[in-house]
Structure formats: C-alpha cells, structure tokens
Chains A and B, each alone.
Chain A
Amino acid sequence: MTALELESVAREFVTPDGGSYRALDNVSLAIPAGAFVAIVGPSGCGKSTLLNIAAGLVPPSSGSVRVNGEGLSGLNRSATYMFQQDALLPWKNVRENVALGLVLAGVSSAEANARANEWLARVGLSAFAAHYPSQLSGGMRKRVTMAQNWILDRGMLLMDEPFSALDVHTRQRMETELLNLWEATAENAEVAEKNSSPRAQRPLRLKKTVVFVTHDLEEAIALGDEVVVLSAGPASHVVARHPVALDRPRDLFELRTSASFIDLYRSLWAVLRDEVIKSQRDA
C-alpha cells in the first residue's frame, strides 16, 4: 500500500520583488507504507517545501497529493512533523510538551500525563519531566520532540533535517534512538497481535512510514530503506531513487565504514555531486 503519493507536484512562491520562484517542478514520488525514505538534495532545493506539502501546511501550486490513497486537503492528519528548528513550547515543561498532542485531542489530563511519563521513560528523560525546554541540551530537546511526535502514534513521520543543529556525536546517538524507536514499532505490533493483554505495553501501530529530509548523504544512507535525490533548485525535481540494501537493525557506529555502505555512498554521491556543484555555481 502507498502511504504518500505525490503526482507532478509543483510549487511557486511570490518573491519580494513581485516575481515568482518555482521551488518544485514536476515531483512525482510514491512512498510505500512502513518504508523509511530519506530525501537528499543540495541546500535550497525545496526539500522543506516538499515536506510542507506532504504535511498539508503548504498547498501545491499544481499536481496532487494523496495520503493512504485519499486526496489531501488541509492538514495531513495521518502524519506528525519534526521541524528543523526547535518547536517545543517554551512555556510548557517537558511533560506538558510531550502530552500536548493528547491534550489537544481531548484526552483527560491524568491519562495524558501517564502516557507522557511512559514516553519520557522510553526516551530516558523521566528525571527532566518538570524542566522547561530552555533548561535542556539540544539533544535532550530533540528527544522530547520525538516523544511529542511519537506519543500520537500516527502512521507517518515527516522529519525536516531534525538533527542538523546537533554536534556529530549527539547526532549519531539521536539517529540510533530514532531507528530503535522505528524498528521497535514493528516488533511491538507483532507482540501485540500474539499477546493481547491490553495494559502490558501500549502497542504501537504497524511500522511507521518515515520521510526524512536531510542534506547529508551519509545520514540518508545510514537511516533509509531508500534514498531519493532531488536536483538543485529552482524547479527542483527527483533525479534518482536508490534502494539501500543494508541489513537491519543497523549499527550506526560501525555501518559507515563497511564496504557495502561505502559502495552505496560512492554511487549516490556521483549523482548528488553534480547537483551540489550546480547549486553552488548558481549561488
């Protein structure tokens, strides 16, 4: 089944001097349910615009977006969105931030808090439940954001360079935690089917579909089932799709030096390199 389908999607913006800028042009992309797809492209190639369109935050100028087979109008309620910038509410503490989606959905505060506590334990932040975001490190804030997104247990995760602001080591840890969470959902679903005792561990849905945007090819290969390369902007479009045939679960600390990883990197870089050069020449 196809979770997200973009068909000939284009998007134009009005520039400050009254002209128009075509960010995306003729992007067609089908993402199967449960896949982890990484989208790479040089900076300014419209990657964020693509995600905003998938999220329903920005309508396409032309073309169509389908989510689970149905045309998207308004916000994509099957997805959560992890932004590049910090998006935690600074005036709510960590627990309130994690519980926010449930509270918005009308879940009682006792239930929402209990489930937020579960998630805080899962991301290792139980001791920080009463802290405010400003009192946390960048990596901790990302974990809170992950919990805030995952607690809603929606089928699709849109991620816009979520870890790009972190230092290399913190970033690798966050990538590992993301993969652990994502892979755990699949196992949980199986466990949940076999063992239907309701209160044991709240079972998550079937494996989530992840659309992960990054400008870092290494990160894209390390995380994805498939890497999609976008061309340099303007009028950015899909120039290559490449499956990543690396076994899971992946050990991100060893993976990057393995021969198959390096082969993949080489062949994808051959495509991406030209686009990066183009984008730099224009800039």
Chain B
Amino acid sequence: MKSSRASATHNGAVLAWQLAVGAIVIAAWQTLVTLGMLDAFFVSRPSDIAQRLSTWVVSGTLWGHLATTLEESLLGLTAGAALGISLGFGFARSPMVARVFDPYIKMLNAVPRVVLAPLFLLWFGLGIWSKVALAVTLVFFVMFFNTYQGVRDADQVLIDNVRMLGASERQLVRHVLIPSALTWIFSSLQTSLGFAMVGAVVGEYLGATRGLGYVIAQAEGTFDTTGVFAGMTVLGVVVVIVSGGVSRLERWLLRWKA
C-alpha cells in the first residue's frame, strides 16, 4: 500500500511537470512571435491557434472531420488486426507456408505507404475506403509479426503441461496459443492504433473531401499556418486521449501479469 501511495504522489508530480513543460513552450512561442523574433506567417502564434480551434468547436466544423478520421482509423485498425492476427496465426502453425511467403512479406512491408496512397485513391476513390486501406497496410504488419512471434514464443512447458492434462489440438490453441499471442497483440495495440491514425490522416492529406488530414492540406494550400497548427493540435490531443484509454484497456486485459 505504501508503494502505491508513493507512486500516486509521483504521478501527480509528473503531471505537474508535463503541464509546466507545455506551458513554457507555448509561452516562449507566443513571446518570440510577439517580439518579432519569429515570423507569424511561418509559425503562426498560440493565441491565433487557440482562437481558430474555438471557432471550429463553436461552429461545429471540427466534429465532422474528426469523426471521419476516427471512423477510418477504427475501421483500418479492426480490418488490419483481423487480417494480421489470422494470417500470423496460420503462418506460425504451418512453418512451410511461413518459409515460402517470408520474402514476399518482407518485400511488402518494405514498401513506403505514401507510395501506395495514390494507387488506393485510384482503386477505392476519394471516400473513406482508400484511407481505410492505407491504415490496413500499416496495422496489418504490426499485428501479423506480433501474432506470429507470440504463437511461436508460447512456452513449451505450458504446451506439454496442457497436453498432459488432456488437451486436444483445438483446446491447446484455445487455452495456450491464443492467450500467449494475445499478450503480444495487446502490447502492440498502442503502436497499431497510432499507425491506423497515421494511415487515415496521410490518406486524407493526399486526396479527400473530409477529415483532419484534409483540413490540414486545405490550410497548407492557402499558406494558412494557423489552420495547419490547429489541425495538428487536434490530432495530438486526440492521440493522447485515445492512447490513455488504450493503456487502461491493456492494463486490464493483461491484469494477470505481475
């Protein structure tokens, strides 16, 4: 109990410092622009960005774009996870298939996703699906490698023990291999979610009619740096909030770990 109280004060101190660091950077930024040492045309200024954000919130334009980006990210995450987990599992269970496809998987993973974006626009159009596809290509590999590793890494003693206790092959998969892989998959949830959002935003940036990436691209097209920074701020805040939620989910799912 003592240690948890100590870590609670610790957490408080960390939060205070985090806020302080943010405040100092914003204050310095604002001051440097006001003093004319930085040009507001290139870097905007915090007060303008705040004003722009409040305009977006009050007028309601923000929500539609945000919802689109989140929808694409979530669809990308789900589809990428489903594909990555099932293929990772299949590969881990059949070493022959894994060896045959190994060079292809590596080649595909090496393709920079920005190169794929125009292709996806061509194939799936300007709507959400080209962005979902881009997110899938990013999430898939994280999930695939983690699942593959997780299944291959399952402790042989656990497998032997469960088999001695009477497990069939299917029960072995269910009680040992899947949970073992899940620990790897859950621990990569943060990364996957980040990738899903990157996929969605990059897709929107390169060609869309809605979404945060679209907002940023529009602002850039008119040299509206304030709009660019406001869009980036929204993205950053959303990522912090969502990843906080994912951390809690991960802690709960892996609560059996010491």
Chain B residues near A132 (CB-CB < 8 A): 255-256, 258
CB <8 Å contact, B166 and A104: yes
A223 and B183 CA atoms in complex are apart in Å by 40
Could you list 8 further interchain pairs (A-B, Cβ under 8 angstroms) beyond the known A101-B166, A132-B256? A57-B160, A81-B161, A89-B175, A91-B183, A91-B256, A100-B162, A104-B165, A134-B257
| Contact status A80-B258, CB under 8 Å | no
- Total A-B contacts with CB atoms under 8 angstroms apart: 60
A sample of 29 cross-chain residue pairs with beta-carbon separation below 8 angstroms, ordered by A number, consists of A55-B164, A75-B163, A79-B164, A80-B165, A81-B161, A81-B164, A83-B160, A83-B161, A87-B157, A87-B161, A89-B162, A89-B175, A89-B176, A90-B256, A90-B257, A91-B179, A91-B183, A93-B256, A101-B165, A104-B165, A104-B167, A104-B171, A132-B255, A132-B258, A133-B256, A134-B257, A134-B258, A152-B165, A152-B166
**Chain B residues with CB under 8 A of A148:** 165
Q: Binding site of A, secondary structure by majority: helix, strand, loop or mixed?
A: loop
**How does the 8 Å CB contact mask read for B238-258 relative to A, with 1 for contact and 0 for none?**
000000000000000001111
Contacts of A85 in B (CB 8 A): 157
Nearest A-chain residue to B171, judged by Cβ:
A104
Interface set, chain A 45-80, CB cutoff 8 A to B? 55, 57, 75, 77, 79-80
- Assembled-state Cα–Cα distance A87/B165 (Å): 11
Least CB distance from B58 to A in Å reads 48
Is B15 in contact with chain A by the CB < 8 A criterion? no
Q: Number of A residues contacting the other chain (C-beta, 8 Å)?
A: 26
B21 surroundings in chain A (CB, below 8 A): none
Interface flags for B214-258 (1: CB within 8 Å of A; 0: not) read 000000000000000000000000000000000000000001111
Identity of the chain A residue whose Cβ is nearest the Cβ of B172 in the assembled complex: A104
A87/B160 in contact, CB under 8 A: yes
Q: Which residues of A contact B256 (CB under 8 A)?
A: 90-93, 132-134
Q: Which of B164, B171, B179, B182 is most buried by chain A, counting CB atoms within 10 A of its CB?
A: B164
Q: For the complex, is A109 an interface residue (Cβ under 8 Å from B)? A: no
Query: CA–CA, A203 to B179, complex, Å?
Result: 34
Identity of the chain A residue whose Cβ is nearest the Cβ of B160 in the assembled complex: A57
Is A280 an interface position by the 8 A CB rule?
no
B170 vs chain A, min Cβ distance (A): 10
**A130 → chain B closest CB, angstroms:** 11
Measured in the bound complex, the distance between the Cα atoms of B161 and A91 in whole Å is 15
Chain B residues near A180 (CB, 8 Å)? none
Q: Does B158 contact A (CB under 8 A)?
A: yes
In the complex, which residue of chain B has the Cβ closest to the Cβ of A136? B258
- By Cβ-Cβ distance, the 7 closest A-B pairs, closest first, are A87-B161, A134-B258, A132-B256, A101-B165, A81-B164, A104-B166, A91-B179
Question: Nearest Cβ in chain B — how far from A92, in angstroms?
Answer: 8
How many residues of chain B get a CB closer than 8 Å to chain A's CBs? Answer: 21
Nearest chain A residue, comparing its CB with the CB of B163: A75
Q: Which residue in chain A gives the minimum CB-CB distance to B179? A: A91
Docked CA distance A90–B183 (Å) = 11
Q: Give B125-164 interface residues, CB cut-off 8 Å to A.
A: 157-158, 160-164
Q: Please give, as numbers and ranges, the residues of chain A lying within 8 Å of B166 by CB-CB distance.
A: 77, 101, 104-105, 152
Within the assembled complex, what's the spacing in Å between the Cα atoms of A282 and B256? 43
Question: A134 vs B158: C-alpha distance in the bound complex, in angstroms?
Answer: 15
Chain A 131-165, CB-CB to B under 8 Å as 1, else 0, gives 01111000000000000100010000000000000
Residue from B157, B164, B176, B183 in contact with A80 in the complex, judged by beta carbons closer than 8 Å:
B164
Q: Smallest CB-CB separation from B174: which chain A residue? A: A104
Contact with B along A78-116 (1 / 0, CB 8 A): 011101011101111100000011001100000000000
B183 proximity list for chain A (CB < 8 A): 91
**Which A residue's beta carbon lies closest to that of B182?**
A91
For B176, the chain A residues whose CB sits under 8 A away are: 89
A87 near B257 with CB under 8 A, answer no
Do A89 and B179 form a contact, CB below 8 Å, given A132-B256, A134-B256, A134-B258? yes
Bound-complex Cα distance A80 to B163 (A): 10
Of the candidates A75, A89, A93, which one forms a contact with B164 in the assembled complex, judged by CB atoms under 8 Å apart?
A75
Contacts of A83 in B (CB 8 A): 157, 160-161
Q: Is the CB of B258 within 8 A of A87?
A: no
Query: How far is A92 from B165 in the complex, measured between Cα atoms in Å?
Result: 15
> Complex: how many Å from CA A90 to CA B167?
17
Q: What residues of chain B lie closer than 8 Å to A80, measured between beta carbons?
A: 164-165
Q: What CA separation (Å) do A152 and B202 show in the bound complex? A: 57
